Amino acid sequence: MKTILISFIKQLIFWLLLYAFSRTVFLVYNIGLLRVEGIQFSEVIASYWHALHLDLATASYFMFFPFVLLLVQSVYSPKWINTVNRVYVIIALFLFCLLTVVELGIYPEWKTKLPFKAFTYLTNPTEVYDTISTGLFFTLLGLFAVKFSVTYLVYFKWFYKDIINIKRNYIFTVLFALITPVLLFIGARGGVQQIPINQSASYYSHHNIMNLAAVNSGFNLFISAIENYKNFGKNPYSFYSDQEVKETIDEIFRMERDSTTRVLTTSRPNIVLLILESWSADLIESLGGEPGITPEFHKLEKEGILFTSLWATGPRSEQAMSSIFGGFPAHPISSITVQPDKFSKLTTITQKLIGQGYNTSFYFGGQLIYGNIKGFILHNGFQRITELENFGNDKNVVKGKLGVHDEYLLARQLSDLNKEKQPFFSALFTLSSHSPYDQPMEEVLQWGDNERKYINSAYYTDRSLGEFINNARKQSWFKNTLFILVADHSHNSYRNWPFTTPFYHKIPMLFFGDVIKEEYKGSKNPKLSNQCDLASTLMHQLDIKADEFHWSRNLFNPYSPEFAYYSFEEGLGWVRPSGHFVYDARVKHYSETSLPEAYKDSIIREGKSYLQAVFQEYMSY
């Protein structure tokens, strides 16, 4: 019993030490870059602490197979099982050491961990060899040989011992079989919390190199492989030739004139971006919803500009982040925000505003680990991030199952903005309108059937927004602030639209504030549009170059094209003024079409070409 247990614990500890050792090698190898970025020693040391959870999760994965072997050895322990364990460890060591050494070579050029797509280059190993200097190649080869040899010797000298003919203890065997896999499962998912662990758990710094140092290389490659398995090497949405798609996309985005209607009184306002969790257009009276669900929002419309024909590009929160901040539309199968090697290629509005001297902050009442949002937010460059853990045990703050409720989160943002240097860009992601809808409010709306809890949660968030805006009006910075309210995605409503229909995915967006010119207050922008159009629209109002946001349209350009796109798992919806279609690529079926025969083929070509081009760009990153 003791022998089996000690062997298991020592093997687990070995993997944790190996990860820490590999992290040290990475940091020492890149010490010149650390100095260039002015990274303090304390921040370097912090990477080991922030890496611990992800390291433990990765070690738990590695230990599943040794656990099975040890379980067998507790009742049957011939020599050949030791050989199997040795071979397993040698192969795992070899691959992990190779992975981490390869990352040393690619980081200066790629600025990322090794992604799964890099394996496509192995189809032409000569080209890989030719892209790096001979000196570097042999340096890395030598480093790999040393690292593998040292870790191999250390493991078999101090951490591993053959198990042969040990005394059986069936009670221990049963307990070991029942308890250990549960502990490994908990360790692999990063705990018992609702959201399984991902790379965001290790993100802690505004220096990307430190975040990458903290992220476990094995875990990162594993996630990258999962996210790419369906589309590795081939676009699953390849409907037309590349040239046909390019011509169609060029035609879709063609504009008669590049012009901008100036709706703001200043080109350098403070900006408060309020991202509304799961807000459907059916919550908004002016968008066709039932009155009384969001009365505070309705009041704000009279002082702002409401976008009445806007769609979320995807159905998940992490997809919305790249769409809103990076102007990059969501797509089926995966999300660019869960893959650091891909989202690092995106320019974001936050980065643009920081370049213009804006002070930045981001607020969320829950855990930003969800969907790797924290990793993406840190990539954005936000200077201050406030989430659940930053509220500590404050008894004056009411928390639900997911985190701090909206009224308390908004109050924290308001308090902080009163001390913020202007101009500032502050984003806040609400939480209370997400299930389980445990907001601190008695039900006000007694209708809604299956979505009664949902509309009451929206009522609560709306009430919190009203209180926030009323308090903000009293602050000196209010008169120079643009408020932008936009949903991350939609949600099933009391109307129970089919999930794939356009009615389901329509969302609200509102520009509001004293910085809006009087003649535009209370107006509506009816252009068919997407939330990814926010990036270009905002940049044009601020006289900031927006060329990088090539999927984003300027909605205050009278000549910008009108269309709306949305994605769902394995399919897309495409909306034009003349009609729409919904296509499920998995079964090659058009579940909805309302297009005039004269334009049907060309409009279908537009939508499918758009999806093909977006996914191809996602793959190329």
| Residue 521: per-residue pLDDT | 98
Residues 186, 44, 424, 550, CA torsion sign: negative
pLDDT digits (tens, 9 = 90+) for 403-455: 999 999 999 999 999 999 999 999 999 999 999 999 999 999 999 998 999 99
| Residue 166: per-residue pLDDT | 85
Nearest to 166 by CA among 249, 71, 254, 237: 71
CA dist., res. 82 & res. 163, Å (int) = 7
What mean pLDDT do residues 12-31 have? 96
Q: How far is CA 264 from the centre of its chain?
A: 31
Nearest to 334 by CA among 522, 161, 569: 569
pLDDT digits (tens, 9 = 90+) for 553-581: 999 999 999 999 999 877 899 999 999 99
- What amino acid occupies position 46? A
CA dist., res. 425 & res. 387, Å (int) = 17
| Residue 349: per-residue pLDDT | 98
pLDDT digits (tens, 9 = 90+) for 346-376: 999 999 999 999 999 999 999 888 878 999 9
| Residue 336: per-residue pLDDT | 92
| Residue 127: per-residue pLDDT | 47
Model confidence at 126, in pLDDT bands (50, 70, 90)? low
Position 119 pLDDT exceeds 80: no
CA dist., res. 560 & res. 552, Å (int) = 10
Give 290's DSSP letter.
P
What mean pLDDT do residues 264-268 have? 97
Model confidence at 200, in pLDDT bands (50, 70, 90)? confident
What does the block give as tokens for 435? 């299930």
Q: Higher model confidence: residue 334 or residue 75?
A: 75
Position 550 pLDDT exceeds 60: yes
What mean pLDDT do residues 306-332 have? 96
Q: Going from the N-terminus, what domains does the chain have, and what CATH number goes with each?
A: 2-228 (no CATH), 242-620 (3.40.720.10)
Position 109 pLDDT exceeds 90: no
What does the block give as tokens for 288? 């066709």
| Residue 120: per-residue pLDDT | 54
Q: Higher model confidence: residue 618 or residue 114?
A: 618
pTM of the model: 0.82
Kindly report the average pLDDT of the chain as a whole number.
93
Position 124 pLDDT exceeds 60: no
Position 130 pLDDT exceeds 60: no
Tell me if residue 462 falls in helix, strand or coil.
helix
Beta bridge partners of 581: 574, 593
What does the block give as tokens for 87? 């071979």
pLDDT digits (tens, 9 = 90+) for 214-228: 999 999 999 888 876
